[in-house]
């Protein structure tokens, strides 16, 4: 049994449950299509033995405990019409991976005719799919797909003309029999990946814009170690020209030169990391390192503005799973917003607190708290809307992009007024063990 869309479920047809009308049909499809008339999203239950088809009356939706509408068993004409109208490819194949049937969606998606598809290997359409049914369904039972174990896979599919496209592939055996046909559902994810690419482009442009605004303070941050290097080199020259040469002093200068060089390299590394344009690179991350890099990057800017930054990272936090540069962008944007909120004459307390704690066993929470102008009640619903800004020269994209990044990582972001004055922005991130699947499934 396979859930292929919010209200469409495909289930195997047993001989003793097929009507006489269906037995007379020449349809090659060895299963039925069931439609839930409930408009809410159906959710597949955890992996378990499939009950008898006639006993399957309802499907729970959204895990909320509310019962969905009854499943409607389609007659033969409705069955064929439903398959042809489904906006994705549906294939059935035998244990040798030879296609037994393909709907119109498969013909349109791959560019083959029905006759060309019949008997063709599924591996021709999806070269990267390890299409071993015995390995894919190792327990040799007919099970309901469990989304928590990642039943759908992101692979590359190939059309007749040789062009390739990203696809989401779901594979399930149609019955508990060892040599039962296999159902493959293929959904074109080109638009999803294009959307993700555009989001990354926009995020990259905002990082470039942000670094442009920080050019002065970054130049100062880089100039400090370079000035120290020059001073130490000049001192070393004086010691080398003296008689006798004080080798101990020269050794100390060389140590200082190495340290100053590393400081300059770190500044350049942080800048390059944020400027870098590339694909999403998700990996387990130490949150203290993510926050620490941003704090060091803004060190000079904070000094120029007279702002003290306090960082409180709880010890022994589990790693998060995500893209380092994008998560740094979130922290950078929130910190700069906090700086700007206190950038006014007469501001007495200029401090930003960054707090990171374990919110639950599966979530880490980061807070960026300032003592600035605060948030008006009528702003709360607009803060994360694109192009909304309270700054005179702001674009209104920083918080919107931050929300997209956090949600893509399986977390959420929100804001509230700071009781002591100012504003507090919070975002959560799943720990590494829970986040990888959520990040993979994001558009």
**Separation in Å, CA 299 to CA 42, 43, 218, 335, 353:** 50, 48, 9, 11, 14
- Residues 225 and 263 sit within 8 Å (Cβ to Cβ): yes
Residue 55 is predicted with a pLDDT of 35
Domains, in order of start, for the chain? 2-188 (3.30.450.20), 195-440 (3.30.565.10)
**Separation in Å, CA 120 to CA 99, 106, 116, 166, 311:** 6, 13, 7, 21, 60
- Give the C-alpha separation, 61 to 358, whole Å: 30
Pairing of β 89-93 and β 164-173: unpaired
Residue 365 is predicted with a pLDDT of 93
354 CB burial (10 A radius; 0-12, 13-18, 19+): buried
Residue 47 is predicted with a pLDDT of 34
Residue 326 is predicted with a pLDDT of 83
Backbone dihedral region for residue 62 (phi beyond 0: left; psi -120 to 50: alpha; all else: beta)? left
Query: How many residues would you count in the chain?
Result: 443
Assigned token pair, 130? 């390890």
- Give the C-alpha separation, 137 to 62, whole Å: 25
| Phi, psi (degrees; rounded to nearest 5) at 405 | -65, -45
Residue 134 is predicted with a pLDDT of 45
For 314-332, the DSSP string reads -TTPPPEEEEHHHHHHHHH
Q: Count of CB atoms within 10 A of residue 234's CB?
A: 10
- Residuewise pLDDT in 10s, the chain (443 residues): 455 444 444 554 444 444 433 333 344 555 554 443 333 333 333 333 333 333 333 333 334 444 444 434 445 566 667 777 778 888 888 888 888 888 888 899 999 998 898 888 888 898 877 544 444 444 433 343 443 333 577 888 999 998 989 888 888 877 767 777 888 889 898 888 777 776 777 666 777 766 666 666 667 667 777 877 888 888 888 788 888 888 888 888 888 888 888 878 877 776 776 666 666 678 889 999 889 888 888 887 888 888 999 999 988 889 998 888 888 888 988 998 888 888 765 667 889 999 999 888 788 999 999 988 877 777 777 777 766 566 666 556 778 888 888 988 889 999 888 888 888 999 999 888 754 445 544 54
- Give the C-alpha separation, 240 to 364, whole Å: 54
Which of 79, 59, 54 is CA-nearest to residue 69? 59
Q: Which residues lie below 8 Å from residue 58, measured CB to CB, with a gap of 6+?
A: 67, 68, 69, 70, 71
Give the helix ranges, DSSP H, for 182-298.
Answer: 190-213, 215-241, 247-275, 287-297
pTM attached to this predicted model: 0.51
Q: What is the dihedral of CA 214, 219, 224, 227, to 10 degrees?
A: -170
Q: Which helix (H) or strand (E) holds 335?
A: helix 324-341
- Give the C-alpha separation, 339 to 329, whole Å: 15
């Amino acid at each position: 049994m396979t859930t292929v869309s919010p209200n469409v479920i495909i289930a195997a047809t047993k001989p003793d449950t097929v009507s006489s009308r269906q037995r007379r049909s020449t349809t090659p499809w060895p299963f039925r299509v069931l439609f839930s008339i409930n408009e809410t999203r159906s959710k597949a239950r955890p992996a378990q033995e499939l009950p008898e088809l006639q006993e399957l009356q309802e499907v729970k939706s959204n895990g909320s405990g509310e019962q969905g509408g009854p499943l409607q068993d389609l007659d033969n004409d409705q069955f064929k019409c439903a398959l042809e109208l489904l906006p994705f490819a549906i294939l059935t194949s035998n244990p040798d991976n030879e296609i037994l049937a393909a709907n119109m969606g498969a013909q349109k998606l791959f560019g083959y005719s029905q006759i060309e598809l019949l008997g063709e290997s599924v591996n021709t359409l999806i070269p990267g799919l390890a299409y071993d049914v015995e390995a894919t369904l190792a327990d040799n039972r007919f099970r309901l797909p469990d989304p928590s174990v990642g039943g759908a896979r992101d692979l590359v599919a190939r059309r007749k003309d040789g062009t390739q496209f990203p696809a989401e592939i779901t594979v399930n055996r149609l019955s508990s029999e060892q040599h039962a046909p296999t159902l493959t559902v293929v959904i074109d994810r080109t638009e999803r990946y294009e959307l993700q690419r555009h989001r990354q482009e926009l995020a990259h442009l905002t990082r470039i814009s942000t670094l442009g605004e920080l050019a002065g303070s970054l130049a100062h941050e880089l100039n400090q170690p370079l000035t120290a290097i020059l001073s130490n080199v000049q001192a070393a020259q004086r010691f080398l020209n003296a008689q006798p040469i004080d080798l101990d002093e020269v050794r100390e200068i060389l140590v200082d030169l190495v340290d100053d060089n590393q400081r300059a390299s770190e500044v350049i590394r942080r800048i390059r990391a944020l400027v870098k344009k590339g694909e999403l690179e998700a990996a387990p991350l130490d949150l203290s390192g993510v926050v620490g890099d941003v704090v060091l990057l803004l060190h000079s800017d904070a000094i120029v503005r007279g702002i003290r930054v306090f960082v409180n990272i709880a010890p022994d936090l589990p790693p998060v799973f995500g893209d380092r540069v994008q998560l740094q962008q979130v922290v950078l944007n929130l910190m700069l917003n906090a700086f700007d909120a206190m950038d006014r004459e007469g501001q007495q307390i200029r401090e930003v607190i960054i707090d990171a704690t374990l919110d639950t066993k599966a979530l880490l929470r980061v807070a960026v708290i300032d003592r600035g102008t605060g948030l008006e009640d009528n702003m709360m619903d607009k803060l994360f809307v694109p192009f909304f800004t309270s700054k005179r020269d702001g674009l209104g994209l920083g918080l919107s992009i931050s929300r997209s990044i956090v949600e893509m990582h399986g977390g959420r972001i929100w804001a509230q007024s700071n009781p002591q004055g100012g504003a507090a922005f919070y975002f959560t991130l799943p720990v590494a063990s829970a986040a990888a699947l959520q990040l993979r499934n994001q558009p």
